[in-house]
Every structure is written in structure tokens, then in C-alpha cells.
Chains A and B, each alone.
Chain A
Amino acid sequence: MLFRTGPFLTRLDSPLPRLHELLRLLYGERPPEDENQLVDFHIRVYRRRGLRHLLRPQAVFVTDMDTPFYPFPLEQAFALFEWGLNYCIAMQAHQYLMLHSAVLEKHGRVLLLPAPPGSGKSTLCAALAYRGWRLLSDEFALLRPDSGMIDPIPRPIPLKNRSIEVFKAFEPGAIVGPIHPGTRKGDVAHVHPGEEALRRWREAARPAWVVFPQYDPRATTRLHDFAKGRAFLKLSGNAFNYPLQGERGFRAVDRVIRECSTWYLPFRDLDEAVATLDRLADDTAGPAS
């Protein structure tokens, strides 16, 4: 099957019914893609054969004859596909400067949430996506270096461990996939990115705010000014392909830093964090360019 995720077209070859079932649940039903298009990624996910694997069934991910991961337990095939797709994008999509950041849009302007694992970035991203922000991505800010626009790549948001229950309590009506227990990143469940995000996948937008979030149960939820120089270092240092982009990458990050306000957001509660970011967007709303 041909499978579109934002600007990328994937040819997915998999006989695993559970994988297709979760794709339908978490990406929604898709219109069929025209077969006469160039395909970005060729991916196979299949059950490993052999006697040993009758006892412990495993799924294998292959792309362009490359097997970048050890096999996963068969029931984690969807998580394997998602990580594999991340791998394909990070290794090949060098037409973009790829920042490691969640990306959401409100009033036609983009909020970047760059943060390391454990900061609460994905949980906050999921919360915003269900409170009126349009999700562009939880993982990749696909920044066009020449125009400074960010292309959407709406995909399910992976939540880990305790954040799964935190989010389910925050938004009981959200579509959340099954928990994949004991993956290499702990327990993982994926949140549907939202119908609007999927429908508007062609609509790029320009960054306006860079916010570095940090979950801290003892913190007062409040935006703090964040020095632009430090923001430059953190953004460029966490980009997937900054060294490869050369001067173009330097200028692209410079543009983001110049055009955005930069903030640090410690937060102890999702509702407070969402309200704080809503105020930021509403207070600085103006005509999007």
C-alpha cells in the first residue's frame, strides 16, 4: 500500500493485519494514493520466520534492503513501524533542516517545543493538539531552509510510561492506541494526531514562538525569557542534520531565532501549561505572513 505522511510517500509492504488495523485507527482512513508518484521510502514489516520465532514471534523492519533495528516482539510491530519511519526521515529528508521538536500551530503561526526525552514535551504536545492547536509534528520540525516555513507531518504522538495515564485523564475522549509494554523506551502508546491535523497536512506555517518546556511537579507554571544565543545553541545542537546543512543550516536557525520569541516553560500541570501557551498565542496574535 502507498501511505502518505505529510510530504512523504511510503510504500509499505506488510502482511501483518494488526499493523494495518492500528494504522487505520491512528491515522484514520485515507483516500487511495495515485500509484504514479515517486515514493520516498520503501518499507517492509514482516514476521520473522523459523522455529525459534514460533515461540517468541518477532517483527522485522526493512527499508531499502537495510535492517536498521533488531527485531521487535510481534505485538510491537506498529511501534517498530513508527520508529522505522522516523529513521527513514532522519536519514533521508535533507531537503529540510530537521529540528528535534514538537510543532503546533495556532492563529496561522507555529509553536516549536524543542526538548529532550523526559521533559514532558510529547505529553504537552498531545494536550495542545486536543485543545485547539493544530499538530504539525511531535518529533520533527521540517524547516524549509530557504523560506523559513515548516511543513506538517501529522502522525500519532507516542506517549511513554506514566504520561499515558496522565494524558488519558486529561482527555478521556482521545483516540489512544494500545499500550506496547516493555519496549526499549518503556511502555508506549500512540495518540491520534487529530482530524484537523491530518486534513490540513499541506498547510505549512511560519514559526513564531520557541518554547523549551520542562515538566517539574514543584515548579510554578510560568514563561521565562530564554536568551536567544542559548536558544540558537539548543536548536542547532538538537537538529538531526545541522552539520550536513552547512551555512544554509546556520542561516535557517538564525532566522528562526530572529523571528521568534524564545521562552523557557517549567510546568507542573497540563491545564496550566496549555492556558499559558494559549495566552502567549492570543496576546501576540497578528496577521500571519
Chain B
Amino acid sequence: MTRWHCPLYKRFVRRCWNDEYFLYNPGSGQTHLLNQMALDILDLLAGEPLNSAEIQRLLAETWEIGDDARHAFAGRIEQHLGQLRHLGLISDGRFDDRRLLA
């Protein structure tokens, strides 16, 4: 199973205004406007790599998601993971962008 991680997490520069989160990624030079879920995923991936099931379980606890809504919640998380990967903010390990830090 894919294990997600966020190798550049410590180098991100973040700001928040009125519940809108802005993140500057020095790896790409791009600025991103993120929602709370995207930010929570990044925070989870600041430490050890996690797979999707682990992310879903941890976020469901934080967000207090009931059993009946778990399936839809998992779908949203998968969607966010895909988008964060596309933006270059997280990695699925196929390309180890920690090399960018060298």
C-alpha cells in the first residue's frame, strides 16, 4: 500500500487569514491556497510516512466523523491526497524528493 509522506514539511512557510491557509513551497517556488483538510493531512505527514487507511482513521478521529459518513470521508481524503501529490506537496515514495534538499 502506498505510504505518503511530506519531505519538505519543515521548509513550508504558512500563513492564515480568516480561515484561509496560504502555503509557500520553496521546493517548487509556488504559493498554494489550502483548506483545513489539506492542512491537516500535511500536518499528519510531517512525521512518519502513513498509508491512506491510517490517514483516514486519524483524521476521522480528529474530525469526529461517525461511522455512517466514513465512506464519503475516505473518498474526500483520497481526492485530497491526489491533489496534494499533484501539487508536489506530498510524495508517494515513487520519487524521493528528499533529494531536493541535498
Contact = CB atoms under 8 A, between A and B. Distances in A.
A and B associate = yes
A227 B22 CA distance: 13
Contact of A246 (B22, B26, B33): B26
Nearest to A253: B31
A229 B17 contact: yes
B62 interface: no
A188 B48 CA distance: 61
A233 B26 CA distance: 17
B33 A229 contact: yes
A247 B24 contact: yes
Contact of A247 (B17, B20, B26, B33): B26
A75 interface: no
A233 B13 contact: no
A50 B18 CA distance: 62
A247 B13 contact: yes
Scoring B18, B24, B26, B33 by chain A CB atoms within 10 A of each residue's CB, the highest score goes to B24
A251 interface: yes
B33 to A, nearest CB: 7
A232 B26 contact: no
Interface string A20-32: 0000000000000
B71 interface: no
B66 interface: no
B26 A229 contact: no
A236 B31 contact: yes
Nearest to B11: A247
A227 B29 contact: no
A227 B13 contact: no
A254 interface: yes
B94 interface: no
Contact of A233 (B18, B24, B29, B33): B33
B15 interface: yes
Interface residues of B, number: 12
Contacts of B31: 236, 250
Interface string A204-233: 000000000000000000000001111011
A236 B23 CA distance: 13
Contact of A232 (B13, B17, B30): B17
Interface in A62-83: none
Contact of A243 (B22, B26, B29, B33): B29
Contacts of A233: 33
Contacts of B18: 227-229
B39 to A, nearest CB: 13
B29 A232 contact: no
B13 A229 contact: no
A273 interface: no
Scoring A230, A236, A250 by chain B CB atoms within 10 A of each residue's CB, the highest score goes to A250
A155 B31 CA distance: 32
B28 to A, nearest CB: 10
Contact of B17 (A236, A243, A257): A257
Contacts of B22: 229, 232, 250, 254
Interface of B: 13, 15, 17-18, 20, 22, 24, 26, 29-31, 33
Interface of A: 227-230, 232-233, 236, 243, 246-247, 250-251, 254, 257
